Amino acid sequence: MDINPILLAAAIMVASTPILLAAIGELVVERAGVLNLGVEGMMITGAVVGFIAAHESESATLGFMGAALGGAAVSVIFGLLTQFLLTNQVATGLALTLFGVGLSALVGQGYETTTQVPVPKIPIPVLSDIPIIGTILFRHDAMVYLSLLIVAGVFVFLTKTRAGMILRAVGENHDAAHALGYKVRRVRMMAIMFGGACAGLGGAYISLVRVPQWVDNITAGTGWIALAIVVFASWKPWRLLLGAYLFGGVTALQINIQAEGLDIPVEYLSMSPYLATILVLVVISGGRAPGSLGKIFHASS
Amino acid sequence: MNRRSLLAAGATAAFAAVLGAPLRANGKIKVGFIYVGPINDGGWTQHHHHSAKEMVEHFGDAVDLVYQENVPEGPDAERAITQMCLGGADIIFTTSFGFMDPTINVAKKFPNVKFEHATGYKQADNVSVYSARFYEGRAIQGTLAGRVTKTNKVGYIASVPIPEVVRGINSAFIHARKVNPNVEFKIVWIFEWLNPAKEADAAKALIEQGCDVVLQHTDSTAPHAAAKEAGGVYTFGQAADMAEYGPMPRISSIIDNWAPYYIARVQAALDGTWSSVNTWDGISTGMVGIGEISDAVPADAKAEAEAMRDAIAAGEYHPFTGPINKQDGSVWLAEGEIADDGALAGLNFYVEGITGNIPS
């Protein structure tokens, strides 16, 4: 056996982070009652903006900040269209994806052969020296830790804070929330921008850490996986963490099993991440979609 | 050229047709290319496009180039090719295996348009097929891989399970074993020609499992980036030289050079001598180029690989020369027997010593 379980577990965390970041952002958006199918478009925008920002500034930190801003910027387009001009959210989200993929290919011209500034690993003192667990959990780059902090933060925000309750109220029944005097549009715009920023970070994690380089269409459908995981996780942050790590985990595992040359047909291995994630999340499912998800809100109605 | 300019070109052509103006009034020919990836992928598509541009330079004003990037393999390709025909293209090169059936289907509807399909095997009166003997280059990569590996584990990122890819794996393996009987291959299929994230994941997994040489049949430079980060891992450029990753990790490459073929075929179309042919060229005609072997390779191994390159070019050596057994141990090629092109074209099994199975 050449599979090193410790390195594999560490690789799983890296493979899962882009999906996790994009999915947790979309979770907040959907809990606010907005269905943004443009995750893929926001991710790839973040990927290209992050790459260019990091390349030009020679700073990975600035790269990720640029990616978050880029993702948020394109999400504002979606927000303005759906919240103020009351366009259909499904159609606008799909358009955002097409727009993002095209825009990124245009903006990224000329950056294909450039190599990227390395993103440093940050071993956490003391903890990283624990055998096995230290290597798996505590020797990653800052974004892996940040993604976990964001998940924890979203959980606390949604369940323990007043602002989080308001956001959920807006998502469950926007007319009631409006009648109580909450600013439905404002809450939703902020949620949409948060979702865009997270998707941008997820995309940049692919172009700055996982690959790391810029190629057209580099996200290759990751945004759609993130969208699906939000639904299968029934809009709950911890299930979403499980789903994202499971998907990333089985993806990394199946490559390792192939390389090992085990006698399992490759077709089954390739479909295994999808099957495993759907199965597990369906089995533990329960909970329902936010009441106003995808519905158009207008104060007059 | 994008879809919009294509549409514009189509409209112009339709307009010209309405006026009854012959499309080639001044001996001009419209040459179309259908690409599976973006023209800046750094590998396969980039080199087709590069060769197409060389062809245009050669002919100057006599040629109008139209192309479409990122055409998905499968039914949608039929739409893209049809659109190019309606746009007045006289000869169309479809440059990926998965365009085979769409090309044949469209060719039936446009008998006056000439088609050239890369890496396929279905020919028709107005459809030529052309491919390169990449397995010749793989033999050289295998030799180098067997010589430079210290862990005796060689990783192979395989793309789509078609004979071309299987030939490459077998050729590389046979020649790695020849110079290093302890070498083992670890093969990962990703079912795509270009997916940088998957390629990077595969490369990292292979490196973590102890491979210190990674071969790829995928189009991006992502595996090189992974190897560079890991350090001490050797890679090979695929389709393009990928020299920006030399001298380490990239120690050599297979370079696709389609330009001479494109020039010859367009010339034939201009002269009216075009007919359907089946072309399969290798190192000898330059269709398969071997990128410079870097100084990271020991001098004797470099000399050995270069000698093999020259022997293949001169026709003195064929990479599939017996004795070679199939994976199950049965005899494929007897002592001194050389595989014929028919068997190679449909190759769908691993040779003895490779573990794992080919996805069907």
Does A232 fall in a domain?
A: no
Q: How confident is residue B25, by pLDDT bands cut at 50, 70 and 90?
A: very low
Q: What pLDDT is recorded for position A289?
A: 87
pLDDT score of A2 more than 80: no
| Closest residue in chain B to residue A260, using alpha carbons only | B186
Over residues B33-57, the mean pLDDT reads: 90
pLDDT score of B23 more than 70: no
Over residues A4-32, the mean pLDDT reads: 91
Number of domains in chain A: 1
Query: pLDDT tens across A234-285, in order?
Result: 999 999 999 999 998 888 888 888 888 777 887 888 888 888 888 887 787 7
pLDDT score of B337 more than 70: yes
Does A5 fall in a domain?
A: no
Does A8 fall in a domain?
A: no
Nearest to B357 among A222, A252, A265 (CB): A265
Residue, of A111 and B332, whose pLDDT is higher: B332
Q: What pLDDT is recorded for position B22?
A: 39
Q: How confident is residue B4, by pLDDT bands cut at 50, 70 and 90?
A: low
Average pLDDT, chain A: 90
Does A56 fall in a domain?
A: yes
pLDDT score of B14 more than 80: no
Question: Cβ(B217)–Cβ(B168) under 8 Å?
Answer: yes
Helix, strand and coil in chain A, % to nearest 5: 70, 0, 25
The phi, psi pair for A122, rounded to 5°, reads: -120, 95
Does A129 fall in a domain?
A: no
Does A214 fall in a domain?
A: yes
A184-205 and A162-172 helices, crossing angle to 10°: 100
- Report all structural domains of chain B as residue ranges with CATH numbers, in order of start: 3-132 (3.40.50.2300), 134-256+289-345 (3.40.50.2300)
Q: Does A21 touch chain B (CB under 8 A)?
A: no
Domain range spanning residue A209? 19-124+137-227
Query: pLDDT tens across A140-163, in order?
Result: 889 999 999 999 999 999 999 999
**Which residues of B make CB contacts under 8 Å with A?**
37-38, 40-42, 70, 153, 155, 186-189, 191, 194-198, 200-202, 204-206, 208-211, 220-222, 225, 229, 244, 355-357, 359-360
Average pLDDT, chain B: 88
Q: How confident is residue A176, by pLDDT bands cut at 50, 70 and 90?
A: very high
Does A112 fall in a domain?
A: yes
Query: pLDDT tens across B185-203, in order?
Result: 999 999 888 888 889 999 9
pLDDT score of B127 more than 60: yes
In sequence order, the 6+-apart residues with CB closer than 8 A to the CB of B300 are none
A/B interface, count of CB pairs below 8 Å: 108
Question: Cβ(A241)–Cβ(A226) under 8 Å?
Answer: no
Q: How confident is residue A40, by pLDDT bands cut at 50, 70 and 90?
A: very high
Longest Cα–Cα distance of chain B, Å, equals 71
Q: What is the DSSP letter of A117?
A: P
Q: What pLDDT is recorded for position B17?
A: 43
Q: What pLDDT is recorded for position A82?
A: 95
Q: What pLDDT is recorded for position B18?
A: 41
